Chains A and B, each alone.
Chain A
Amino acid sequence: MSRRTAFSAQTLAVLAALVAQPSDWRHGYDLAGETGLKSGTLYPILIRLADREIVEACWEEGQPAGRPRRHLYRLTIDGLAAAAAALAEGPRVAAQTAKPRRAANRRLAEEGA
C-alpha cells in the first residue's frame, strides 16, 4: 500500500483555501470560516505548514484602530506547488471536507458574521 499524500483532510482544506487566493494574506478567522475548522485544529495545522515552509506568516503592519494586529498567512512559492500537487492528488478529500465547510458557513451566517 502506498501512501498518496502526507496531508490530512483538514490540512487539504486549509491548503485549498490558501490556493484559492495565493497572493493574498489571509488571517486565521477568515480561514476558519472558509474551512469550517475550529481554532484548536486550524492553528496546529498552520504551525506544521509553517514549519515545513509551505506557509509563511507575518504580523499585520501598523496598529489598526479598534482591534489587535492580525497574524497573516499565505503560501510560499514552494508551498504553492506542493499544495497544488497535494490537492490534485486528493480530490476525494475536497468532497469530504465540503460538508463541514458548508456547515460552518451556515453557522457563521446564522451568527451574522
Chain B
Amino acid sequence: MEQFATMLTAMLRAAERLLPPGRRQWAEAARAEAVQAPGGWSRVRWLLGGLWLVAREAGVMRKVMYWTGVGAAAVVASWTIWLSWRAVRLPYFDPQAVTDRVRILAGIAAIVVLPWVGRRRGWFGPVGSSITARLVRVAGCAAMCGLGVVVVRMDSHLQRGANVGPFSLPREIVGLLPLAGALAAALPWMRSRRKKADTGALWALAATGAGTMLVVLPLQALSIGYVAAILCVTARGSSVATVSLFAGACIGVASGFAIWAVVTAWGNDDQGLIPIVALMAGLLAAPAGLIAGWARPDTGDPEESRVARMRQGAYAGAVAGAVCGLVLTYFSVVAVFMMLVGPLAGALSGAAAGALAAQYPIRPRIDGSWAAGLFVQVRAR
C-alpha cells in the first residue's frame, strides 16, 4: 500500500503540470497534506482526491470526452465510407453507395464545421452548463452519426432494381448550391438582427434555399439542419430552458418508441398512416410543452408570462417532435419525413400546451417547496 501511495504521489506531482500556474499551488497543497494522513488506505484516498482535483480543475474529463467523441465520429465516418466503398465492388452493387458517402461526409462536416463557424458569435457554443445540455448535445451528435450508418446499411441490403437511383453529380451540385445560398443568407440575417434591418428578403431566400435542399437532398439537408439545431439549443446562450430540453428529449424518445409500437401493430405499409403518425407525434409532444410551461417562472406580467410559457412550450414540443422523428427514422428510414414534420407538429402542440399551462398555472407550494404529499415542512422565519 505504501508503494501505491508513493506512486500516486509521483503521479500527482506530474499531473500538477496540467493545471494553469495559478491553480498548481492547490494540488501541491493536497500533496503536501498527504503526509499528515496516516499511512495505508487513508493516504491513498487523500492522494486520489488530489488527482481528482487536478482532473476537475484541468478539465481533463471534458477533454477526454471531447476527443473520444471526435474519435468516435472519425471511426463512424471511416467505417461508413468503407461500407459504401466495399459495396461498389460487391456483385450486388449498391447504386446509392456514392450518395451515401456524400451524405455521411455532409453530416460529419456539419458536426465539425458548424461549431467552428458559430463559435465567434456564440450561436453554437460553448455548451450550456447543465448536464442535460451536455448529454443532449453528445447524444444528438452521436445519433446523427448513427443515422448515417443506418442509412448506409439499409441501402447496402436493398436489392438491385429497387426504387433508388445511382449517384447523380448534377443533383448533388444543384442541392449543395442552395445549401451554400441558405448559409450565405442566414449569416447576414443573423448579423443584421440587432440592427432591425429588413429581414424579409433574407428569410425568403433562406426558406427557398432550405426548401430546395429538402426536396433535392433531403438527408443531407436534414442532417445539417439537425446538427445546427442540436448545437444551437444546447449552447450556453440558448433561450431553450433546461427543463424544456429535458422534457422534450425524454418525451420525444418515449413517443418515438410508442408510435413505432402502434405502427408495427397496425401495419407499416399503409400510406394512410402518415398523417396519423404526424398527429400522434404532435399530441404526444404536448406533455413536454405543458411541463415546460409550468416550469417557467411567473414574471408578474400575465401577458408576458403567457408568451414566455407558450414559447418554452413550443421549444419543448419541437424538441420532442424532433427526437421522436429521429427515433422513428432509426426504426425505418422511410419515416425520415417525421424528422421534418415531427418538430413542426410538436412545436404547434407544445405552444398550445404552453398556453394551457399559462391559463392553469401550478400554484407554488408553501415556502417554495415542490415536495408532494402531506408532509410539507414549513420553515420558521
Which residues of A are in contact with B by a Cβ distance under 8 Å? 1-2, 27-29, 32, 38-44, 46-47, 57, 59, 67-71, 92, 111-113
Contact = CB atoms under 8 A, between A and B. Distances in A.
Contacts of B51: 40
Contacts of B45: 38-39
Interface stretch (B36-44, B106-114, B138-146): B36-44
A40 B49 contact: yes
A92 B378 CA distance: 12
B38 A28 contact: no
B52 interface: yes
Interface in B31-63: 31-33, 35-38, 42, 45-53, 56-57
Contacts of A29: 33, 36-37, 46
Interface centre among B29, B42, B57 (most CB of A within 10 A): B29
B50 A40 contact: yes
Nearest to A111: B38
A45 to B, nearest CB: 11
A1 B50 contact: no
A42 B42 CA distance: 15
Interface residues of B, number: 30
A43 B26 contact: yes
B60 to A, nearest CB: 13
B52 A40 contact: yes
25 contacts: A1-B368, A2-B368, A27-B33, A27-B36, A28-B29, A28-B30, A29-B36, A29-B46, A38-B46, A38-B49, A39-B33, A39-B52, A40-B52, A43-B27, A43-B30, A43-B49, A43-B50, A46-B26, A67-B32, A67-B35, A68-B35, A69-B32, A112-B38, A113-B37, A113-B38
A71 B42 contact: no
Contact of B42 (A44, A47, A111): A111
Nearest to A31: B33
Contact of A44 (B31, B35, B47, B57): B57
Given A39-B49, A44-B57, A67-B36, 16 more contacts: A28-B30, A39-B30, A39-B33, A39-B46, A39-B53, A40-B49, A40-B56, A42-B49, A43-B26, A43-B27, A43-B29, A43-B30, A47-B57, A68-B32, A68-B35, A113-B42
